[in-house]
Amino acid sequence: MPASDPALAGAAAVALTGLAEAYRPRPVTPLMPWRFPNRLVKPYVVTARGRQWDDNMVDIARGTATRQLEFDDAMGAVGLGVVVLHLGEDGLYLVVQSWARDFQSRLSIFSGMDVGDLRPAPIGAAPGVWELEVLSHERAAYVTHILTGDVDIDAWLDDALDTRPKVRYDGIPSGT
């Protein structure tokens, strides 16, 4: 909708403009797949500017995600899942998605100030734009490699989103 639409006049238009001016893409880092008996998981880390992650943080988040994935398995998951650890500006978020029977998925969100205090997010919480970027990619990968044609688990595992800045070898080095 154009900003001049009367339905979005006044405060709504100002709010949208502020969001558009403040938005910045965040790097998405795919990690090595997690392999469990009867389950494969594609983990990712999304980082806001100035945030850093390490293997210990991922291990702690993996513990939380694993408990949720075990519950999802009991509720009918088919053994494929996605986990997004997002180090945001205002805290941490952990999104756990399991593909389930009947073309459904199970989605759980955890939040906290630190990876050690991740708790189920309040009812009604949904993934943010950065987590949705990963989930959108993963939905497309699931349809392409699992639901259409032959089931190709290796292609599904290889089809990972990676939006980290690429090293440039031409021009003047800029550090980005």
Residues 6+ apart with CB under 8 A from 138: 42, 82, 97, 161
User: For residues 41 and 34, is the Cβ–Cβ distance under 8 A?
Assistant: yes
- The model carries a pTM of 0.88
d(CA 65, CA 96): 6
Closest CA to 42 of 93, 84, 88: 84
Range scoring the smallest mean pLDDT among 91-105, 125-139, 156-170: 156-170
pLDDT band at 171 (very low <50, low <70, confident <90, very high): low
pLDDT band at 20 (very low <50, low <70, confident <90, very high): confident
Closest CA to 27 of 7, 40, 41, 44: 44
